[in-house]
Amino acid sequence: MSIIDKFRLDGKSAFVTGGARGIGKSVATAFAEAGADVAIVDVDIATAEATAAEIAAATGRRMTAIACDVTDPEQVDRMVDEVVKTYGKLDVAFCNAGICINEAAENMTYAQWSKVININLTGVFLTAQAAGRQMLRQGGGSIINTASMSAHIVNVPQPQCAYNASKAGVIQLTKSMAVEWAARNVRVNCISPGYIGTDLTLSSPSLVPLIEQWNQMSPIHRLGKPEELQAICVYLASDASPFTTGGDFVVDGAFTCF
């Protein structure tokens, strides 16, 4: 098999949480373009269905949309069961759903803190755990978690202590699962994106004034694009990366280098 062939995902099935839009949609598109059948998992089922239909029309792959709250263990288990029932197996899990609440630490409420931690960290644990259980039964698979450059630095000027803490937790969770499952052929890695210009980011009234400051601080002087995360995720999902597990891949335009 050539190195190019190893990057193909033909015959593989995947799910992407937070897949209806943004980074999730972009990576789901890349998985499908590489040959995988993909489940778009999101709390917004209407947008997930539209995304699944759009990607299916563009790639010819089998796509499905599944409604799931990643903080609910029963919903997560049902989601994985549905993926396996639909596609026969689960080869790739992109545990990507997340939120950010910008609030000063002294003013952040317990409800705000809990919401961020529950979605960003507990949600990743539950989806990776459920995927891992299925992959262990099958004899292998690849799990990719979305962390952030915010796990490595404290972002400014916006206050986001809960987000930073949750994403740092994702990295250590990823490493822990990778060590536990390495000998059983289940690989677990994470990506740490920098500032990415999704539609929501670019249209958010609270974030638009910050973008120019972020760009001035960045060595590359611009936001990343969702499609600039596709290649690393396809690599991690594919047979080109059998020795790659427990890794945290920073894709941030050198933002965290100083």
Residue 1 has what pLDDT? 82
Query: What CATH number corresponds to the domain at position 170?
Result: 3.40.50.720
Residue 154 lies in a domain: yes
Total number of domains in the chain:
1
Residue 216 lies in a domain: no
Question: The whole model's pTM is what?
Answer: 0.97
Residue 144 lies in a domain: yes
Domain that holds residue 186: 3-198+227-250
Residue 203 lies in a domain: no
Among 167, 192, 195, 241, the active-site one is 167
Instruction: Specify whether 225 is catalytic.
Output: no
Chunked mean pLDDT (size 10), the chain, 258 residues:
94 98 98 98 98 98 98 98 98 97 97 98 98 98 98 96 98 98 98 92 83 95 97 98 98 96
Instruction: Give the type of residue at 231.
Output: A
Residue 149 lies in a domain: yes
Residue 236 lies in a domain: yes
SS3 sequence, the chain?
A: CCHHHHCCCCCCEEEEECCCCHHHHHHHHHHHHCCCEEEEEECCHHHHHHHHHHHHHHHCCCEEEEECCCCCHHHHHHHHHHHHHHHCCCCEEEECCCCCCCECCCCCCHHHHHHHHHHHHHHHHHHHHHHHHHHHHHCCEEEEEECCHHHCCCCCCCCEHHHHHHHHHHHHHHHHHHHHHHHHCEEEEEEEECCECCHHHHHCCCCHHHHHHHHHHCCCCCCECHHHHHHHHHHHHCCCCCCCCCCEEEECCCHHHC
Among 148, 150, 166, 238, the active-site one is 148
Among 12, 13, 87, 163, the active-site one is 163
Beta bridge partners of 92: 14, 142
Residue 215 lies in a domain: no
Residue 84 lies in a domain: yes
Instruction: Specify whether 110 is catalytic.
Output: no
- The tokens for 73 are 């263990």
